[in-house]
Amino acid sequence: MLKLSRLTDYAVVVLSRMGRDNAPLQSAPGIAARTGLAEPTVAKVLKILAQSEIVEGLRGARGGYRLTRPLSSITLAEVIVAFDGPIALTACVDGGTGGCESEHLCPVRGRWDPVNHAIREALAGISVADLAGGNCGASLPFTTDHFVAAE
């Protein structure tokens, strides 16, 4: 089963909340209160999002966090990579080496590349606004066409 980390899930919740609120700057405690997530968790999520340049942190008495761009241009793939690393179903990612003790004998080595590519493309086609719904974006434009392997 392909499973995302809790922090990735929380990041989508935090970003969705930030996109719904019209405040130019938002504090970690404020976001925590509005999402029901623990403040230390929200702070950790915001720090990682800032390192990935998805949000920007501003210091000072009037500081806080803001989105670097609209939710409609922040893809689910970007968020996943920020928290969980490269998107792939197997350890042999796009010709990588050293992830498997049987790689030199593997009959499907390199054959997962089109599958991994298709999944990355599908996730890159879904914005956080699509997931947030409501005022943040249109309904999810997702179809099974996203899972056709790239040629």
Look at residue 93 in the predicted model and tell me its pLDDT.
58
Look at the alpha carbons of 146, 147, 150, 151 in this order and tell me if their dihedral is positive or negative: negative
Q: CA 4, CA 85: separation in Å to the nearest integer?
A: 10
- The region of weakest confidence among 2-6, 21-25, 47-51, 56-60 is 21-25
What domains can be seen in the chain, in order of their start residue? Answer: 6-147 (1.10.10.10)
Output the six-digit token pair for 149. Answer: 């392997």
Task: Tell me whether residue 14 is exposed, middle or buried, using C-beta atoms within 10 angstroms of its C-beta: 0 to 12, 13 to 18, 19 or more.
Answer: buried
Residue 141 has pLDDT above 60, yes or no: no
Mean pLDDT of 63-76: 94
pLDDT tens by residue, 73-123? 999 999 999 999 888 877 665 555 556 677 677 777 777 888 888 999 999
Ramachandran quadrant class, 98 (left: phi over 0; alpha: psi -120 to 50; beta: rest)? left
pLDDT tens by residue, 10-49? 999 999 999 988 778 999 999 999 999 999 999 999 999 9
In this prediction the pTM is: 0.78
Residue 146 has pLDDT above 50, yes or no: no
